[in-house]
Amino acid sequence: MLASMRQAAARVAFPRVAGVRTLTTGSLPPAAANQVPTISTAGPVTTPFMSGPPSASSSLSNAAASMQAPIIHIPPAEDPLLHLFTSLVMFDGKRQAASRVVTRMLLHIHAFTKAPPLPILRQAIDIAAPLLRCRQFKRAAKQYVFPMPLSERQRTTTAIRWIWEAAKTRGGRHVEERLAREIIAIVKGESEVLKKKSDVHKLAVLHRGNIVKPPRVPRSNQN
């Protein structure tokens, strides 16, 4: 009776497949018949040799693993260009407030362009930086203009100051948004900063004859 109950339970749990012969406990030797596992109806029957279709949870986990996390380009905290930019937009020694302005400006650039903001800022400053400046003064009712070359730091400082002045005329509710729009306009070639840079270069070319010569070193100081 016990063997018939085991056979009925096996038929219910594992339907008969065409072309596959099912073995009963009666056809097994006595040693193998004693090793037939008992089937409990308390929970689902799982077998190591039968695998069903993958569940929805496993497919979702595989899809989530295959998807790559979005890459966020975060500028370094000690970047020299950002440090200089923060120092030039700082008022009354409030460096934390100036740092927040620069951080939000980078976020606005990223939101407008969907690209890393720091390379765009570097490109805009490099485009807006002048090669020289024109020193002007009057003498005997005559205007003198002397073109003077700028160092790398002086060029960067001048470009940032021009960007800050031009951003005041830009539309936007916050200063960081106006700065971001001005930087993007410089990259696109639509900013007044580029016109100002061109005017300085034209004035320097016009008065190129007044370029200050290097001072003469006395022979006593020459090695």
Contact yes or no for 128/200 (Cβ under 8 A)? no
Q: Is residue 9 part of a domain?
A: no
Query: Which domain range does residue 154 map to?
Result: 80-210
pTM for the structure as a whole: 0.60
**Is 30 within the bounds of a domain?**
no
Residue-wise pLDDT for 76-135, tens only, equals 667 889 999 999 989 888 899 999 999 999 999 999 998 889 999 999 999 999 998 888
Please check whether residue 140 lies inside any domain of the structure: yes
- Cβ count near 187 (within 10 Å): 16
Under 8 Å CB-to-CB from 84, ≥6 apart: which residues? 153, 156, 157, 160
pLDDT at 149 (0 to 100):
87
Q: In the chain, how many domains are there? A: 1
Residue 198 lies inside a defined structural domain of this protein:
yes
Task: Give a yes or no: residue 215 inside a domain.
Answer: no
In a domain, 22, yes or no: no
- Residue that is written with structure tokens 């100002």 in the block: 196
Is 205 within a domain?
yes
Which residue, 127, 123, 88, 110, is CA-closest to 177? 110
- List pLDDT tens digits, range 150-194: 999 999 999 999 999 999 888 778 899 999 999 999 999 988 999
CATH code for the domain in which residue 115 is found = 1.10.455.10
